Structure 1
Amino acid sequence: MREPKSRRAVVVGGSIGGLTTALLLRDLGWDVDVFERSTRNDARGGGIVLQPDTIRWFTERSTQALESLTTSTNLVQYLGGDNNVTHREYAQWSYSSWATLHSALLRDFGVERYRRGHRAVAVTQDASTATVEFDNGSFATGDLVVFADGVNSVGRHYVSPNTSIRYSGYIGWRGLVPERLLSSETSAVLGSSVTYAVVPDSHIVMYPVPSPITDGRTERLMNFVWYRNVPAGRRLDQFVGGASDGVLSLHPEQVPRIEVERMQTDAARDLPPAAAEVASRCVAPYVQVVSDIRAAQMVRGRVAILGDAACAARPHAAAGTAKAAADAWSLATAIEKAGGNLDQALQVWEPVQLALSAQLESRVQAMGERAQFDNSWRPEDPELRFGLYGPGT
C-alpha cells in the first residue's frame, strides 16, 4: 500500500543511509527533503565492500548500471614479510568507494531536495509531527524525522541520550592510492584479491575500488585500512590534537604531519613491501578513531535514527554501509506493511534493527580483539570473513 502524498519526511544526513532512506520513502509516495551539514561534495570517504543490502537500491530500483560503480576480486590472501602468500582462498567480493556510491545515489535522488549547509542543532515534537532546527536558523517539520547523521549524531543524543562512546584502543589509518602510482611488482602481488597482512598487535587490509565517474571515465584505486594500537590518554590526545574525547575521525588536513611520517616509517619497517608501498604512496591518509557506539533506542515518538547514528560498529566485518542500507530498507518495508499507521511501523522496525546492531557489535569487537591484542587472528578461520548478518553473509 502506498502512503498518502501528504505525508512528509525530513531526513537529516545526506550520506548513503540517508539517501537510501529518502529514495525508498519517496517511492512510497512521501514528500521527502534531505538536509546535509556539508556544503560541498566530499570525496574523502574510503572503500566500501558491497554487500547485498548496500547495492539493493541499484539491483531493484535504479536504472544506473551497477557494473560502472564497482570493482571485484576473486581471492582472499595473506602476505608474509617478503610478499610471499601465506594463505589464499577463493572468495568473490565487489567494492565501491563512498564517493562513487554517494554520487550515484544522489543522481537518482536529485539535487533539488538535497539541501546542503544545514547542520541540525535541536529537535522537538508533538503528537503528530517532529521539527528539526538547523544552525542557519531554519526549521523543517515532518510526520517523520529520520536522523542518518553519522557517528556524531544529534539525533542519537535526542533518541538515546545515554549512549556511550567507547574507544577500542586502536585507530585505523585509511586512504586511497591510484593503482597507476603503484609499482608493477606491488600491483602483481595485490592483483584481484582482498589482501591482508597480520603482524603482532596490528593488521592491514587492502582491496581495489573504483574512483567516482569523471567525464565518463573511472580508474581503480587501492583502498587500505591499517589498524594500529594507540593507548587512551596522553598518546591519543597528542595524536588528535588534545581533544580525544568525542573525536572519532581526522580528515587528511587534520592529521599531524609528524604522525603521517611516523606511520610511513613504521610501515616500511613492519609491513610486507607491497602493503608498505600502498601506505607510503597515499598522499592524503586520514584516521578513524575506532570506537564502539550502540544506541539502546532507535525511535522516540516520530523521530528515528539509523546507520552509524544508531550503531557505529568497528569496520572489521565491512558492514557499516550495509547496516545503514538495511536499516533504511527495513524501515520502508515496515511503513509500507503498516499502511497509514506510522507508530505501529516504528514499533515493529525498532527491535529487529536493535538486535542486528547488538549482533554486529559483538562480532566485530571479537574480531578486533583477536587481531590487535590477543594475536589469535588465523587466516583460515571462517569467523573472520566480511558480512553484516554473519561471516560471509
Structure 2
Amino acid sequence: MNDSSSRYRGSRALVIGGSIGGLTAALVLKDLGFEVDVYERTATPLHGRGSGIVLQPDTLRWFVERSDTDPTGLSTSTSWVQYLDRENRVVSRDERRWGYTSWGTFYRALLHDFGTEHYHLGAYACGFDDSGERATVRFADGSTETADLVVFADGINSPARERFDPDAVPSYSGYVGWRGTVPLRDLSPVTRRMMGDSITYSVAPNSHITLYPIPGEEGVDAEHQLMNYVWYRNVPKGPELTELLTGKNGFVGAVSLHPGQVQDRFVAEMRETAVATLAPAAAEVVLATEEPYLQVVLDVRSDRMALHRAALIGDAACSARPHAAAGTAKAAADAWALRDALLAADGDIPAALTAWEPGQLELSRQLLDRVMEMGDRSQFLNTWLPGDPSLRFGLYGPGVLYPEDRRPVVA
C-alpha cells in the first residue's frame, strides 16, 4: 500500500453496484486504506451472458499493477482488424493487436481479489443523504449504511443519478444490438481461419456487425474460445420496439432481453437477414447462435458526477454506445482518476471529488459525442467506411488508449 494512503485508514466507503466498474472502484479504494463494502441490487451472483469485452489499458490496469492474478490468463488476443465483403473477401486489413475477455471471466477475477465477505447481494439502494461529515445510503429493505464516501456504480438505470442531474435520462439511439457467442470449434474450418486472429467487421446498409474471439467458461485456450459478436440493427421507437423487446415471459425488457427470451419469430427474421446482408463468415456465426439476445442502445450523460461525499461513475454517469469499445474502460478510468484525486487531496474527500469531477465530465462528453457520431454514420448515414482510422476503438480518441499524461514512451 502506498504510504500516502494512510490518511484513509479507518475511513469507510460504500460502492453501490457490484459489476465490473463497481468492483474496480472498490479495489482501488481498498488499496488506499478505506474499509469498503459493495452493495449489488441483484439477489444472485452476476453473470454476463458470455458478453465480450475489448480490453483497454484502464480496464486491465488493476491486474497489471496491483493484483497477483496473471492478466494473460484472463484474455484472448488477435493481430488484425479486417472488413469482409458479401463474398467473404477481405476489403480492408490493418495489423493492430487487441486483447479481449468475457464479462464473466473478468468479473470473477475482480471478485476473487475483493472477496465476498463485504460483497452484499440483494441490496437495492433507493436513496441517500449527505450531511457534510458523512453520507447515508437508504436501502429498500429499510436498512441504512453510513460512510465517509459513497461511489454509485449502479449502471445505466442508476436510481442515484437523478440526485446528481434530474435531466439526465436515457434516450433511445434508434437501434439495438443483437448479441451472441458461438464456440469456435462449432464453426467451419474456413471461418475459424478467416476470423480466429482478427476483429472482423461486415458492413451492410444501415447496419454493421463486429466479431472477435473471447475466453470461454473453461479457459482462454483455442479449444475453449467463443466467437462473440454484436450486430447493430435499426428499430423505430414505439410499438415495433416494444414488441421486439417483449420476452417469452411477457415482460418488456428496458435495456436488454436475455438469452432464451427473444421471441422465435424475431430470431428467425434475424437469421434470414444475416444470410441476405452479411459476409458469409459473419452470417455463419449468427446462424450458429443457439440463443441470441438483445441490447438496447441508449445514450445518457449526467452533467454532475460529484456531490460532496458522493461520486457517480461508469454507465451511471455516462452510458456510451459500444462503438469505441470503451464502456468498461471508462468506468475503470473513473475509478482510477478518483484514486489519484484522493491521494492528492490527502484525506479531504470533498476536495478530492471537486478536483476529480471536471476531467471525468469532459472525458464523458468527448466519448459520448464520438460514439454517437460513429453510430449515426453506420446506422443512418451509411458513411461507415472499411479501414477508416476515425472508427478505431479507444477511450481517449480513435486508437488512443492512454490519456496524455500516461502515454507510454516509445523509444
Q: TM-score, normalised by structure 2?
A: 0.92
Among 63, 86, 95, the alignment partner of 2:91 is: 86
Change (3 A) 1:43 1:358: closer
- How well do the aligned residues superpose, as a CA RMSD in angstroms? 2.0
Among 321, 329, 334, the alignment partner of 2:336 is: 329
Query: Counterpart amino acid of 1:286?
Result: Y
Say if 2:345 is the partner of 1:338: yes
Change (3 A) 1:4 1:234: closer
Question: Any conservation in 2 of the 1:146–1:303 contact (CA below 8 Å)?
Answer: yes
Query: Counterpart amino acid of 2:78?
Result: T
Aligned pair count?
393
Instruction: Show the 5 A alignment for 1:276-315.
Output: 276-315=283-322
Alignment partner of 1:35: what SS?
strand
Among 178, 182, 195, the alignment partner of 2:183 is: 178
Among 208, 216, 222, the alignment partner of 1:211 is: 216
Question: Any conservation in 2 of the 1:159–1:303 contact (CA below 8 Å)?
Answer: no
**Greater shift in the superposed pair: 324-333 or 139-148:** 139-148
- The gaps in structure 1 that reach 5 residues or longer are none
Instruction: Show the 5 A alignment for 1:125-204.
Output: 125-204=130-209
Report how far residue 282 of structure 1 moved.
1.5
Match of 2:403 in 1: none
1:65-113 deviation per Cα after TM superposition (whole angstroms, max 9, x unaligned): 1111000111011111121111111111111111111111111111111
Rounded Cα–Cα distance in structure 1 between residues aligned with 2:228 and 2:263: 21
Report how far residue 37 of structure 1 moved.
1.5
Rounded Cα–Cα distance in structure 2 between residues aligned with 1:61 and 1:209: 24
Instruction: Show the 5 A alignment for 1:190-269.
Output: 190-213=195-218, 219-241=224-246, 247-269=254-276
Q: TM-score, normalised by structure 1?
A: 0.96
Change (3 A) 1:22 1:88: same
Report how far residue 191 of structure 1 moved.
2.4
Change (3 A) 1:51 1:151: same
Report how far residue 340 of structure 1 moved.
1.1
Alignment partner of 1:254: what SS?
coil
**Greater shift in the superposed pair: 334-343 or 34-43:** 34-43
Say if 2:39 is the partner of 1:32: no
**Greater shift in the superposed pair: 11-20 or 269-278:** 269-278
Report how far residue 216 of structure 1 moved.
11
Query: Counterpart amino acid of 2:26?
Result: A
Rounded Cα–Cα distance in structure 2 between residues aligned with 1:132 and 1:272: 51
Match of 2:369 in 1: 362
Question: Any conservation in 1 of the 2:214–2:220 contact (CA below 8 Å)?
Answer: no
Rounded Cα–Cα distance in structure 2 between residues aligned with 1:249 and 1:161: 23
Change (3 A) 1:218 1:111: farther
Question: Any conservation in 1 of the 2:83–2:387 contact (CA below 8 Å)?
Answer: no
Change (3 A) 1:168 1:244: farther
Say if 2:72 is the partner of 1:77: no
**Greater shift in the superposed pair: 34-43 or 316-325:** 34-43
Rounded Cα–Cα distance in structure 2 between residues aligned with 1:246 and 1:353: 30
1:286-336 deviation per Cα after TM superposition (whole angstroms, max 9, x unaligned): 211111110110112211110000000010000000000000000011001
Question: Any conservation in 2 of the 1:103–1:212 contact (CA below 8 Å)?
Answer: no
Rounded Cα–Cα distance in structure 1 between residues aligned with 2:120 and 2:222: 27
**Greater shift in the superposed pair: 263-272 or 200-209:** 263-272
Match of 2:102 in 1: 97
Alignment partner of 1:89: what SS?
strand
Question: Any conservation in 1 of the 2:198–2:212 contact (CA below 8 Å)?
Answer: yes
Report how far residue 158 of structure 1 moved.
2.0
- The gaps in structure 2 that reach 5 residues or longer are 401-411
Question: Any conservation in 2 of the 1:54–1:326 contact (CA below 8 Å)?
Answer: yes
Report how far residue 247 of structure 1 moved.
1.5
Report how far residue 213 of structure 1 moved.
4.8
Report how far residue 125 of structure 1 moved.
2.3
Match of 2:355 in 1: 348
Rounded Cα–Cα distance in structure 1 between residues aligned with 2:252 and 2:226: 32
Rounded Cα–Cα distance in structure 2 between residues aligned with 1:320 and 1:300: 23
Match of 1:46 in 2: 51
Query: Counterpart amino acid of 2:183?
Result: P
Question: Any conservation in 2 of the 1:237–1:244 contact (CA below 8 Å)?
Answer: no
Alignment partner of 1:88: what SS?
strand
Change (3 A) 1:195 1:215: closer
1:163-220 deviation per Cα after TM superposition (whole angstroms, max 9, x unaligned): 0322111110111111111111211221200000001010000001112457999821
Rounded Cα–Cα distance in structure 2 between residues aligned with 1:37 and 1:291: 21
Query: Counterpart amino acid of 2:34?
Result: W
Rounded Cα–Cα distance in structure 1 between residues aligned with 2:285 and 2:240: 25
Alignment partner of 2:83: what SS?
strand
Alignment partner of 1:154: what SS?
coil
Alignment partner of 1:252: what SS?
coil
Rounded Cα–Cα distance in structure 2 between residues aligned with 1:111 and 1:220: 28
Among 11, 23, 26, the alignment partner of 2:15 is: 11
Report how far residue 245 of structure 1 moved.
9.7
Query: Counterpart amino acid of 2:12?
Result: R
Question: Any conservation in 2 of the 1:165–1:246 contact (CA below 8 Å)?
Answer: no
Rounded Cα–Cα distance in structure 1 between residues aligned with 2:58 and 2:22: 14
Rounded Cα–Cα distance in structure 2 between residues aligned with 1:65 and 1:89: 28
Question: Identity across aligned pairs (percent)?
Answer: 53
Query: Counterpart amino acid of 2:14?
Result: V
**Greater shift in the superposed pair: 15-24 or 151-160:** 151-160
Alignment partner of 1:379: what SS?
coil
